Structure 1
Amino acid sequence: MASTALMLASIMGSQAYAQNPADASGLATATYLSCLLDHKATTPRAAARALVEQCGYKPDQPVDEFVDQAVAQIPKDPLAPITQQLAPLRDLYSDEQYAYFEQLDEILAGSASFDEMSNRLAGLEQQALTELGRSDRDLNVLGSISAARYTFEFIRTYQGTGVVAKGFWRDLRRVGELVAAVAVGFAIAGPIGGALAGWAAIALMETDP
């Protein structure tokens, strides 16, 4: 897990991204997702438990309680667009904040190449850093964008088994759906939520390639 964090940080680390107060949370999301893929959890409960037993997450509650809570927060339809999944939480965000989720949807569904998606995600994060404040809800949006960017860069270079064997990581649409799932999971429950939502999206892709 540490090697994944170092790899992502070396690939994507820059002073500009370091200015994002949620940068560490975005990196943690992709790192936890990498660990889940390495340990090949087969059920949501197994994935949540693996975060503690295999991936180094230290919950502030008994493990069984953490697993119950984490599983309950996994999006029901992780392959749906971000704004569709977050519709029940719309009132928690200002119009300006929510517009970033709308832009994420457009980038992840509308980019014509991996390079375009990468550049547009980076541009959106810089825009958000300039325009958003630093309230808890602003940080939630900044973290979701950071988690999306880190996850995209991680999955496009992923060399593990399973996902690669399925070949979906070459499919820009599928990668966009995965990144969207992670962004939603982060918005709901931070890095752990993002990692589990990404795991759930990949699990669905593997049953319906």
Structure 2
Amino acid sequence: MKLYEMEFGVYPRRVSIYLAEKGITDVERSPFDLSQGWPPKDMPKLSSLGTVPILQVDQDIIIRSSIAILEYLEERYPTPPMIGGTLAEKARTREFVALADEATTMFSFWVRKASPLFTGREELNRDAARLGAEWYYRRLREIDMLMSEKECEFLVGNAPTIADCITYSTIQFAHDLYDVPYPDDAPRLMDWFHRFAARPSATSVPFPADLRAATQGLPALTWED
């Protein structure tokens, strides 16, 4: 198997955190170099979607969705389970996954409508950006609410799941690349986030300097008149 990725990207980070937590070492890693331009020359033969991560299982099986990749790997490497051991645990994990994935989508919408990075590529719109920001934080608050139902070390239980990988990658990416403030009304979520940040799997991947410079200004564009 071969994993094509952009190491610092929010969706590839879901998979890289999972691989580290799971201890999977027999997946070949092939990072794309953003400095060489986008899309990479190999992209058309791998995916018409033009996104990463991409897991090439063999010549006939290519998986292009981060969640589908996680689900596939979880079936292939069932021990230790990272989606839950019982039907109830799996359902609860997927509840968290759904909220975290929606938060990622709302954040992406916010960025595309507010960040200077997308000037000339997207129609920037302050009202749309505010809506994306509102729903990003709303989904994080909802994760915090779910956490209040059960005291445990991780989001779903006392061992990490794919929900932890997805949620952590989103909050870290938003904060570290775009300087998006952490939510101040989701205390359980932030306690978990800072604990998870100390895990080896969560070690930050450096962002390219030119990308980091181009992403500044998101909060100001969104919140100030």
> Taking structure 1 as the reference length, what is the TM-score of the superposition?
0.35
Which of the two has higher C-alpha Rg? 2
Q: Which has the higher contact order (CA 8 A, sep 6+)?
A: 1
Higher strand share: 2
Higher helix share: 1
> Taking structure 2 as the reference length, what is the TM-score of the superposition?
0.33
